[in-house]
Amino acid sequence: MLSKCANPACFARFRYLRQGKIFKIERHTSSSEGRRKAGGRSIEHFWLCESCEKVLTVICEKGVVSTQPRPPVPAARVKRDEDEPDLGLAFHAGAGA
Ligand SMILES: [Zn+2]
């Protein structure tokens, strides 16, 4: 099940846990028979490779698992290490001189 990337259009093969992202999808059995049982659900694991994980996410809709474009990450979180402290310094120097 975790042999390749969950993206059908991608053929990256699963090798290392630290690469990409593992999605734990809980599937509920929709049949009435499944509902009567206590364990009417199953957990499946899906893996997206490093490059697909950046743009896709794995969702489960009505028992069907598929990949979907990821909602955009807030800009503030993406540009965390690109903070420019010298902007403040320049302003300070300009105001002082
Ligand atoms: Zn992929």
- pLDDT one-digit tens code per residue, 60-79: 888 888 999 988 767 666 55
- pLDDT one-digit tens code per residue, 5-37: 999 999 999 987 778 999 999 877 665 554 555
Determine, yes or no, domain membership for 38.
yes
Determine, yes or no, domain membership for 10.
no
**Residues 6 or more apart from 8 whose CB is under 8 A from it?**
67
Please tell me the distance between residue 41's alpha carbon and the centre of ligand 1 in angstroms.
Answer: 27
Determine, yes or no, domain membership for 36.
yes
What are the CA-CA distances from residue 38 to residues 28, 45, 55 (Å)? 11, 21, 36
Please tell me the distance between residue 79's alpha carbon and the centre of ligand 1 in angstroms.
Answer: 24
Position 40 pLDDT exceeds 90: no
How many domains is the chain built from?
1
pTM score: 0.61
Residues with CB under 5 Å of ion ligand 1 are 5, 7, 10, 12, 49, 52
Determine, yes or no, domain membership for 86.
no
Determine, yes or no, domain membership for 41.
yes
Of 48, 46, 45, nearest to 10 by C-alpha is: 48
